[in-house]
A = this chain, B = another copy of it.
C-alpha cells in the first residue's frame, strides 16, 4: 500500500536528519500532515485532531503518535514497526487533557524530554494551545522553530513524485474539459462544480483521483474580482466571465490549472487583457531554467505587463506538489520580487498570473516542472480566453 519504495522513504529521512544535525535539532515533532506523509507514508483524514510524527536524530525509525482510532490507519499506510505506532486514548479529544501532554509523556518515557526539540511553528494543525501545552509539559526541553525544514526538502521531486504529478495533470485536463463543457447561460454554478468533482475523483481508467486540497474555485461575473469565493446555486448569465481554478490530485500530489471562460463574446477590453496575460505567462515560462531565480521569472512577467501600463501586487506563482487541505502550495519558494530561490531540475510550480480589476478578472495559469534546460508544462490545455457561445448548449448532454 506504500506509494513509494522503502528506499525513497529512507532517503527522505536521511535528508531530514542531516538538516536536523545542521540546525542542532535532536527531536523533530512533525505536525504538518504533508510532512508526516512524506516521511512515513501516513495518509488519513485525521489531521483535525492532534497527531505527531517524531523524528529522533539518533533513532532509526520515526514514531507516530495519534488518536487511538487512527492507529490502524497508521499500521495500514506507513512503513513503521508496530512498536513505533503509539495511540492516545479518546479522553484526550476536545477535553481538558491535551494530546500534546500525552506526546510529552512519551518523550519523557523514552528519554527525549530534555533535548533540543524542533517544532513546525507554522503548521495549520499545530495550534497555539498545542504549543503552550507542549512547552508546559516539557520544562527541560529547548524549542527551535523548524517550520519549513521538511518542506524545503520536498521542493525537489523524485521521478516517482513527478510521475504522480503528471497523473494529476492528466486528471486536471479532464476536470477543465468538463468545466468548460458545462458552463453556460442558465446553468447553476453548483451543477458545474458537481460535474467537475465527478471528473476529478473518477480520474482515468488507469488511475483514480484523490481529493484536491482546495475546492474548485469558479468566481463569475463581478465575483471574478474575488478569487477565493466558492460557488453558489445562482445561474450563469450571458456575457459573464468565469475564472476556473482546479487541481487534479493523485496520491496527494497536485497539478493545478486555471482558465477563464467568457459566456458569449467577451468585451474588447477583456480580450486585450487576456492576450496580455498569455503573453506574460509565455514569457515567464520561457524564462524558466535551472540557475534562474524565482524573482527573475516574476520579472519576465512584470516586464510584459508594464509594457501595457499595468501594475500587479501579488506573487504570480508558488512551489506545489504533495499536500492536504487547505492548500496545495508548499509554502517555500514563491515566484515574486525578492524571492532568490534558484530553480533546479524537478522543482514544480504553479505559475498563476492573474489580472483583477474592480469588476472582473482574468487568470490563465500553467503548472510546470523545471527540466535540465528549461521547463515542461504539465497539463496540455489550450492557452487562451475560452469563449462559450450559445450554440454550444446543444452540444452538452
Contacts of A215 in B (CB 8 A): 45, 211
Number of copies: 2
> Roughly how many angstroms separate A327 CA and B326 CA in the complex, as a whole number?
12
Q: A48-B124, A207-B233, A228-B44 are in contact. Are A90 and B315 (CB under 8 A)?
A: yes
Contacts of A47 in B (CB 8 A): 326
A137 at the interface (CB under 8 A from B): no
A276 at the interface (CB under 8 A from B): no
Please determine whether A228 and B46 come into contact, CB atoms closer than 8 angstroms: yes
Cβ distance A274 to chain B, nearest Cβ, rounded Å: 19
Q: A125-B124, A230-B43, A325-B326 are in contact. Are A190 and B214 (CB under 8 A)?
A: no
- Which residues of chain A (183-242) have a CB below 8 Å from chain B? 188-191, 193-195, 197-203, 207-211, 214-215, 217, 222-223, 225-233
- Which residues of chain A (32-77) have a CB below 8 Å from chain B? 43-48, 68-70, 72-73, 75-77
Contacts of A125 in B (CB 8 A): 124, 326
Q: How large is the interface on A (under 10, 10 to 19, 20 to 34, 35 or more residues)?
A: 35 or more
Among candidates B44, B191, B195, B315, residue contacting A230 with C-beta atoms closer than 8 Å: B44
Please determine whether A208 and B226 come into contact, CB atoms closer than 8 angstroms: no
A94 at the interface (CB under 8 A from B): yes
A396 at the interface (CB under 8 A from B): no
> Roughly how many angstroms separate A73 CA and B207 CA in the complex, as a whole number?
36
> Roughly how many angstroms separate A127 CA and B331 CA in the complex, as a whole number?
14
Please determine whether A73 and B356 come into contact, CB atoms closer than 8 angstroms: no
> Roughly how many angstroms separate A123 CA and B125 CA in the complex, as a whole number?
9
Q: A46-B228, A201-B194, A228-B45 are in contact. Are A147 and B124 (CB under 8 A)?
A: no
Please determine whether B131 and A45 come into contact, CB atoms closer than 8 angstroms: no
Cβ distance A232 to chain B, nearest Cβ, rounded Å: 7
Binding site for B on A (CB under 8 A): 43-48, 68-70, 72-73, 75-77, 89-90, 93-95, 119, 121-132, 145, 147, 188-191, 193-195, 197-203, 207-211, 214-215, 217, 222-223, 225-233, 313-315, 318, 325-327, 329, 331-332, 334, 336, 338, 356
Identify 21 residue pairs between A and B in the complex whose beta-carbon atoms are under 8 Å apart, listed by A's number. Answer: A44-B226, A45-B217, A45-B228, A48-B124, A48-B214, A48-B326, A68-B313, A70-B227, A70-B228, A72-B225, A90-B315, A121-B128, A122-B129, A124-B127, A125-B326, A126-B127, A190-B201, A191-B202, A194-B200, A194-B202, A197-B201
Closest 8 pairs (CB-CB, A-B): A208-B233, A190-B208, A128-B131, A197-B197, A121-B129, A194-B201, A48-B326, A73-B226
Given A48-B329, A90-B314, A119-B128, 10 more A-B residue pairs with CB atoms under 8 Å apart are A45-B215, A45-B326, A69-B228, A69-B356, A70-B226, A70-B227, A77-B229, A90-B313, A90-B336, A190-B202
